[in-house]
Every structure is written in structure tokens, then in C-alpha cells.
Chains A and B, each alone.
Chain A
Amino acid sequence: MSSSNIRDLQRELENKANDLNKLQKDIAKNHQVRKKYTIQLGENELVLKELDLLNEDANVYKLIGPVLVKQDLAEANANVRKRIEYISAELKRLDATVQDLEEKQNSKKETIMKLQQKMQSLQAGKGKA
């Protein structure tokens, strides 16, 4: 009876370990996306700072594919601001998901620990008997 019990536990443990792996992969992916957005945010902020420094009559061009298109300074400014807003919102969203995932990861780790302890005690009991 105890050996089948151990087998069940082992199966459960494996399942939980797989879940944990998946969670960790998700977290890593999330981190990567976050990093990309952070870099973009930094670049956009630099651009905004640069645009703010310009005179109103400065000529601003936007690179669209292989062509430079002349753009209004005000328009460019608004565009960059909007982009910064969007990226900031996206970063906040990612933060929330990552927190959620990490909480899940911690609870998974705990259940795995408990399972391992249970198995160890069972195996120890079997060894004595």
C-alpha cells in the first residue's frame, strides 16, 4: 500500500515540478519583454528631452522605412509622449503579471517542498518496516 502511495506522490511531484518549470519560463519571458520595454522607454525619454530642447522652427524628420519624412515638431512631440505613456502603462501591466507569477511560483515551491518531506517520511517509515 505504501509503495503505491509513494508512486502517487512521485507522480504528483513530477506534475508540480513541471508546473513550476512552466512558471519559471513565463517569468523569464516576462522579464525579457520588460527589459525590451525599459530600453524603449529610456530611448523615448531621451528623444523627448531632445525635442524639448529644440526651437519651434526646427526641422524634424521621421524615418519611415527608408525615407525621411518631414514632421511637425508639435506632432513629433505628441507622438513621443503618447508612446512613452503607452510603454509606461505596458510596463505597469507587466509588473503586475510578474508579481502574480512570482506569487504562484512561491506557492508551487512550497507545495513541492511539502510533497518532498512527505515522501521522505514515507520512505523512512518503509525503510524501518
Chain B
Amino acid sequence: MASSKSGSGAMTLERMSVEQLKAVKEQADMEVNLLQDSLNNIGTATTRLELATTALNDLSLRSLGSKILVPLTASLYVPATLQDPHHVLVDIGTGYFVEKTMPEGKDYCERKINLLKSNFDQLVEVASKKKNVADEAGVILQAKLKQLASSS
């Protein structure tokens, strides 16, 4: 269905005036940029979750009472002992936190990463389609401009 749609899209692109083509190209470029931004955001979110997963894995290897340094600020750490290595507090968004056990916490991270990955894949598809439209419009626009230049 998508391919037939893009085919008819090319047909209508051919018939457009230079101004219309310019508008279409601008719009498509804008959308491509927007999608690219979203992709970047998803990428950073995924890395953060992966970091959280490694942190959890690290934490789960420690035993009760082991010495740790807790960051109070970015540059100030205070020594402490680990009191409960089996429970974690997870930020699930909009200010809500949930107490979870270690495996639940890991499961949470994994689920979120999978969700983001599937979103990422979907977005990549949409973005590449949009990029094709933008490129197509660009090519036709160039051809039309050349035609205009040579005929005048």
C-alpha cells in the first residue's frame, strides 16, 4: 500500500509548479529533521536505560553491608554502607516512584529498552520514507529549475 502511495506521490510531484514543489520539499525537510531529532532523543534515552541496567547489575552483585560512596553532589561523595541490596526505587515518570525488587527493576529497564527499540525501528522506517519523498521533491525541483533556466 505504501509503495503505491509513493508512486502516485511522484506522479503528483511531477505535475506541481515550482512554488508548490518548494513548499513540499520544505515541509518534507522539516519533517525529516523533526524525526531525526526524535530518533536522537530515543537514542539518548536508551543509553540512559542501559546505564541504569548496568548499574543495577553492579548493585545486585554487592552484598548487604558493603561499603559504598554516595554522591551528594557531582563532586562530593560520602562513605556509606549498603543496607538493602534487594530493593530499588524506580522513577516511572510524572513524579511517580515505585519500590521494586532487584529482578523487577531489571525487568523494568529491559521492558523500557525493548519498547524504545521497537519505537526506534518504526521511526527509522517513517524517517527513511520521508527522506525519500524529500529527495524526490528535490530532484524534480532541480530538474524543473534547469528546464526553466534553459527555456528562458
Q: Quick one: which of B89, B93, B99, B108 contacts A43, CB cutoff 8 A?
A: B93
Cβ B89 vs Cβ A61 within 8 A: yes
Q: Is B95 an interface position by the 8 A CB rule?
A: yes
Q: Is A44 an interface position by the 8 A CB rule?
A: yes
**Which B residues between 79 and 97 are near A, CB-CB below 8 angstroms?**
89, 92-97
A63 to chain B, nearest CB (A): 4
Chain A residues with CB below 8 A from B108, complex form: 50
Cβ A47 vs Cβ B99 within 8 A: no
Cβ B97 vs Cβ A68 within 8 A: yes
Chain A's closest residue to B91 (CB) is A63
Query: Cα distance A64–B99 when bound, in Å?
Result: 17
**Which A residues between 47 and 95 are near B, CB-CB below 8 angstroms?**
47, 50-51, 54, 58-64, 68, 76, 80, 83
Chain A's closest residue to B107 (CB) is A53
Cβ A54 vs Cβ B94 within 8 A: no
Chain A residues with CB below 8 A from B89, complex form: 61, 68
Q: Is B11 an interface position by the 8 A CB rule?
A: no
Chain B residues with CB below 8 A from A46, complex form: 92-93
Chain A residues touching B, range:
10 to 19
Chain B residues touching A, range:
10 to 19
Chain A's closest residue to B115 (CB) is A46
Cβ A61 vs Cβ B99 within 8 A: yes
Cβ B99 vs Cβ A50 within 8 A: no
- Write out, one digit per residue, whether chain B residues 63-106 have a CB within 8 A of any chain A CB (1) or not (0): 00000000000000000000000000100111111111000000
Q: Quick one: which of B96, B99, B100 contacts A63, CB cutoff 8 A?
A: B96
Query: Cα distance A68–B99 when bound, in Å?
Result: 12
Cβ B97 vs Cβ A62 within 8 A: yes
Cβ A60 vs Cβ B95 within 8 A: no
A65 to chain B, nearest CB (A): 10
Chain B residues with CB below 8 A from A40, complex form: 94
- Write out, one digit per residue, whether chain A residues 25-59 have a CB within 8 A of any chain B CB (1) or not (0): 00000000000000010011011001100100011
Chain A's closest residue to B108 (CB) is A50
Chain A residues with CB below 8 A from B92, complex form: 46-47, 50-51
Chain B residues with CB below 8 A from A47, complex form: 92-94, 96
A117 to chain B, nearest CB (A): 16
The interface of chain A, by Cβ under 8 A from chain B, is: 40, 43-44, 46-47, 50-51, 54, 58-64, 68, 76, 80, 83
Please provide the 6 A-B residue pairs with the shortest distance between their CB atoms, ordered closest to farther.
Answer: A59-B99, A63-B95, A61-B97, A50-B92, A47-B93, A43-B93
Please name 15 pairs of A and B residues whose Cβ atoms are closer than 8 Å in the assembled complex, sorted by A. Answer: A43-B93, A50-B92, A50-B93, A50-B98, A54-B98, A59-B98, A60-B97, A61-B89, A61-B96, A61-B98, A63-B97, A68-B89, A76-B96, A80-B94, A80-B96
